[in-house]
Amino acid sequence: MKSVLLASFLFLLAEFSFAEELTNYTITSDYQINTLEGDLEAKGNVVIKSNSGNFEAYSDKLSFDKDDKSLKLIGNVYVKNLEFEGIAIEETSGDELTIFTDTGIFEFKSQNKKRVETKIKF
């Protein structure tokens, strides 16, 4: 059973891709659970980093939905070096970030009258 869970988790890491770029990511958190369908949830002090060393994100919670092809970071989200089709976000922060892993499109939300702040290069 453990090998099945490990295999599905490794498959999930291989599936994370922003647009058509296939990159491996390391997720560190206080708690993680994944399903045999390939979904993943991480809670508490979540850190996701690309193994190539450029992309970093921090949040309270992370969930990956394989069917929706979405990676959602919730609570105290901070992101560094997110790139897609010539746009480079140096850093950004807010309350909730959804990245659609098949297209690279992202949506950042803020709550409680806070604002999303982004440093960007074109």
Condensed to tens digits (0 to 9), the pLDDT of residues 16-43 reads: 444 445 568 889 999 999 988 888 999 9
Q: Where are the beta strands (DSSP E) in the chain?
A: 17-18, 21-22, 25-28, 31-34, 40-50, 56-65, 70-84, 87-100, 106-109, 117-121
**CATH code, domain with 62:** 2.60.450
Kindly report the backbone phi and psi dihedral angles of residue 11, in degrees, each rounded to the nearest multiple of 5, phi listed first: -65, -40
Mean pLDDT in the chain? 77
Q: How many domains does the chain have?
A: 1
* Domain that residue 69 falls in: 2-121
pTM surpassing 0.85? no
- CA dist., res. 87 & res. 37, Å (int): 32
- CA dist., res. 13 & res. 37, Å (int): 13
Supply the pLDDT for residue 21. 52
- Residue 115's pLDDT band (cuts 50, 70, 90): confident
